[in-house]
Amino acid sequence: GAQEKPLGYWSSLMPYNTTKGVATDGSTLFAVTNQAFFTYHPATNDMQWYSKTEGMSDIGMQCVGYDATSATAILVYANGNIDLFKDNTFFNIPDFKLKTIAGSKTVNNVYTEAGKAYLSSSQGILVIDLINQNVFENYQFYSGKQLLPVTSFNATDSFFYAATPNAVYRASKTNQELQNFQVWQKIDSTHQFISIAGLDNSLYLADSNYVYQYRDTMRPVFTSATKIININPGYNRLYISEFHPFSGDMRAIDTNFNIVDTLNYFDAAMQIIQLKDSTVWFANSYFGLARKTGADRLFLFYPKGPADATATDIYANNGELYIAHGGFTDTYAGLSNKNGFSVFKNGQWNIYREDVFAPYYPFADSMHDIVSICKDEIDGTIYAGSLEGGLFELHTDGSYKIYKQKVFDLSIDNAGTFYYQVLGTAIDQYENVWVTVYSGAHELYIKEKSSGNWYKFNPGFAPYSGPIVFDDAGDAWYVCPKGGGITGYNAKNTISDPTDDVFTHLTAGVGVGNLPNAITYCIAHDKNDNLWIGTSDGIGILYNASSCLSQHCDAEIPIVQYDQYAGYLFKGQNVRTIAVDGANRKWIGTDNGVWLLSPDAGNSKIIYKFTVDNSPLPSNNIQKIAVDKVTGDVYISTDQGLMCFRSTATDGGTSNSNVMTFPNPVPDGYKGTIAIKGLVTNADVRITDINGHLVYKTTALGGQAVWNGLDYTGHRPQSGVYLIFATNADGSETYAGKMIFMN
């Protein structure tokens, strides 16, 4: 089976279905998607997917090409960055990305010939020498003094052709002065061509309605009833991709301009190519790569992943992952995201979303912007909150309920539209479901487990309410967005009787909560019963949260040590998300990356800081962090994609059970971290040789101890068997195990 990923390992959880282009060497397909890149080899069914964790230099793609002479795939990113992919490695050419220019760095397509790549861009034709791996030349086209973008570029045996919005130009391939605009001859200025293809030494050009063959004159050879997106050469035929709302067409014409193949389907083909074995492949904007298998069939191929790159909420436990893909603006207006939620369980992805192509029918009317998600670990029910359509309840047998008008108040959004806006969902220790509603007459709702009845509450502190956590006493604490601080609430487990309820409210200012700012984004509860509150101006900590409903408490704003500097915790930063791991360390997500703080609340040290510059994070804009306390995996959602970091801390148990050492045996040459997990919390761990000589000693982080594999002298132990001893503080829990070093 597959080896477990080592500690400190990053992996990306990207959607791979939004294919923007495909290129081929004749047998392998190179596909670029909105976020990333994958290869597929139909003969062996081998699929490999790549992201920044596998060496790509950036995130977000525009187009792709392949050059047979240099055996290189050319990958173009949305920001103008370029990677050359050869022999499974990436070589970065950042020149175009780094160039200071007005306007966008759009690249419309890539044409390759004889070891060079010609990129049709907003800045003319960029020529890349693929053998020497550098930008070689730049051909620019003008109308008066205005630089023209190039929409497409191609060639016949003798000439290069470039299409701009104003005209088509051609020049002899043998001309030594192609960088001089004067040597390019205008051959047509009456059409707006979007795509050019060369086939059998003839040139074909397409605008949105017609395909023309060019042999000294433009001759229309195909008329579209809808809209042409692009044309691509096959073997003795030309593939034409058309699109109209929710429906795509493929037509193939032979060199006598007869239609020899046709297909209607639900998608837009961004590119169509034919392999040497004559199979026809589509790069679809929605359904990944597809092979045409008959008169009306497309067979789909793409690496499975979540429905969307972004996640507003994540629930992770014991290797299962639940991702809410909806979103909202800074003023909490919905984004009309219809991608629902994604579930990863037992190694499989399941997608629940409303769309034209693969609808999940319960979401058909108004379940847009799923912004909160949680799971009842006892009965397996999933609860997902929508910013428009109330609360969705999904049972393990696939049956479901939607709670809207019969339960929740209507609330009005900024645009004046009425919705059932569920912003927070959580489940307490008695399996009661707690829901917060944004801008309704009641801000808090509880569904009682024993009766199934709903009850609604209005503490009256703030009209808006959001994410919820519980403290050790079972008090609920929830964020009040848009400057409302936080509210604490306890229904005393008599949900139907509000007369005994206790509640409190914290905002900015000494004596009224002392939050760093009343604009709160997130809240987390740690293992010492402290609440960590993330605001627009750093973090406040509410110590001993369980005692703060019966007596008033002010939050404290701790000082944190970083390098030689000490300062208030994240002062001036938007703290968007906080998560607590198995060793009680705090993972903090801001608009400037991710920070890991040591467990001690009032005197934290910064253990890690991750940004796009020192990690595979696709963006520094962090939306949500969730920790799987069982596996130690840390899920980090950014506005450009979801990442997973295999952390060093897992929840410790009360006994040393199912202790596992990884890797074991330790292979020759292994330089990574060795992990011993399944230990009692904060166990004392000692590793000795077979004669009892101490090699290494450490304390577990939560339920996991880590070792760099070197003894106290900095040397790797000799090959052989080593013993592992672990005990808790009072010696009542002990473990003895073995690991083998291979040198």
Distance of alpha carbon 71 from alpha carbon 527, whole angstroms: 55
Nearest to 195 by CA among 252, 245, 249, 233: 233
DSSP string of 608-622, one letter each residue: EEE-TTTSS-S-S-E
**Is the separation of the CB atoms in 664 and 699 below 8 Å?**
no
Is pLDDT of 408 > 90?
no
Give the pLDDT band of residue 163 (cuts 50, 70, 90).
very high
Mean pLDDT of the chain: 88
Whether the bond between 558 and the residue before it is cis, its omega within 30 degrees of 0, is no
Range in 61-65, 86-90, 520-524, 721-725 with the lowest mean pLDDT = 721-725
**460: confidence class by pLDDT, cuts 50, 70, 90:** confident
Closest CA to 684 of 672, 666, 696: 696
Question: Which strands sit side by side in the sheet containing 531-535, from one edge to the other?
Answer: 520-525, 531-535, 538-542
Q: Can you give the pLDDT at residue 567?
A: 64
Which residues make Cβ contacts (< 8 Å) with residue 250, sequence separation at least 6?
239, 240, 241, 242, 261, 262, 263, 265, 269, 272, 282, 292
Handedness of CA 607, 610, 613, 616 (dihedral sign): positive
CA pair distance 371, 328, nearest whole angstrom = 8
Question: Measured between alpha carbons, how far is 385 from 369 in angstroms, rounded to an integer?
Answer: 8
With tokens 């083998």, the residue in question is 740
pLDDT of 52 > 70? The answer is yes
- DSSP state, residue 495: T
Residues 383, 392: Cα–Cα separation, whole Å:
6
pLDDT at residue 395, rounded to an integer: 95
* Structure confidence at residue 3 (pLDDT): 40
pLDDT for 380: 94
Over pLDDT 70: what percentage of the chain? 96
Give pTM, 2 decimals.
Answer: 0.83
Report, as an integer, the average pLDDT of 210-230: 92
Task: Report pLDDT digits (tens) over 576-622.
Answer: 999 999 989 999 999 989 988 888 766 677 788 888 888 888 899 99
pLDDT at residue 7, rounded to an integer: 63
For the chain, the farthest-separated pair of C-alpha atoms sits apart, in whole angstroms, at 92
* CB distance 323 to 624 below 8 Å: no
- Side-chain half-sphere CA neighbours of 185 within 13 A: 9
Place of tokens 């108004």: 366
According to the model, what pLDDT value does residue 2 have? Answer: 33
Q: What average pLDDT does range 109-126 have in this prediction? A: 95
User: In the prediction, which pLDDT does 743 show?
Assistant: 78
**List of residues 6+ apart from 93 with CB closer than 8 A:** 81, 82, 83, 84, 128, 133, 134, 135
Question: 27-31: long-range contacts (C-beta < 8 A, 24 or more apart)?
Answer: 27/275, 27/276, 27/277, 29/273, 29/275, 29/281, 29/289, 30/64, 30/66, 30/73, 30/75, 30/85, 31/64, 31/283, 31/288, 31/289, 31/302
In this predicted model, which residue has the larger pLDDT, 409 or 49? 49
With tokens 């290189």, the residue in question is: 72
Q: Given pLDDT bands bounded at 50, 70 and 90, which one contains residue 724? A: confident
Phi and psi at 512, nearest 5°, equal -120, 15
Picking from 58, 71, 79, 78, the residue whose alpha carbon sits closest to that of residue 30 is 71
Give the Cα separation of 240 and 248 in Å (integer): 11
SS3 362: helix
Cα–Cα dist 579/588, whole Å? 7
Which band of pLDDT confidence, cut at 50, 70 and 90, is reported for residue 557? confident
582 and 701 Cβ atoms separated by less than 8 Å: yes
> Whose CA is closest to 366, among 342, 387, 394, 335?
387
End-to-end CA distance of the chain: 24
Q: How far apart are CA 562 and CA 586, in angstroms?
A: 15
What would the two tokens of residue 298 be? 């497309």
What is the distance between the alpha carbons of residues 648 and 629, in angstroms, rounded to a whole number? 11
Phi, psi values for residue 552, rounded to 5°: -75, 135
Q: What are phi and psi of 328, to 5 degrees?
A: -155, 160
Give the pLDDT mean for 2-22: 77
* CB-based contact 373:322 (threshold 8 Å): yes
* Residue 449: both structure tokens together: 């487990």
Residues 28-55 have a mean pLDDT of 90
Model confidence at 356: pLDDT above 70? no
pLDDT at 732 over 50: yes
Q: Evaluate if residue 413 carries a pLDDT over 80.
A: no
Average pLDDT of 384-395? 93
| Bridge partners for 403 per DSSP | 391
Q: Using the predicted structure, report yes or no on whether residue 203 has a pLDDT greater than 80.
A: yes
Q: Could you tell me the CA-to-CA distances from 195 to 75, 203, 222, 228, 466 in Å, in that order? A: 19, 11, 14, 9, 49
d(CA 166, CA 192): 7
What are the φ and ψ backbone dihedral angles of 323, each rounded to 5 degrees?
Answer: -125, 120
Whether 565 shows a pLDDT value over 70: the answer reads no
In tens, the pLDDT along 270-304 reads 899 999 888 999 998 888 888 888 767 788 888 88
The confidence score (pLDDT) of residue 694 equals: 85
- Work out whether strand 159-163 and strand 124-129 pair parallel, antiparallel, or are unpaired: unpaired
Buried b / exposed e along 37-59 (16+ C-beta atoms within 10 A): bbbbebeeeebebbbbbbebbbb
* CA distance linking residue 211 with residue 237, whole number of Å: 13
Q: Flag whether pLDDT at 372 surpasses 50.
A: yes
- Predicted pLDDT of residue 414: 66
Whole-number Å distance between alpha carbons of 237 and 643: 43
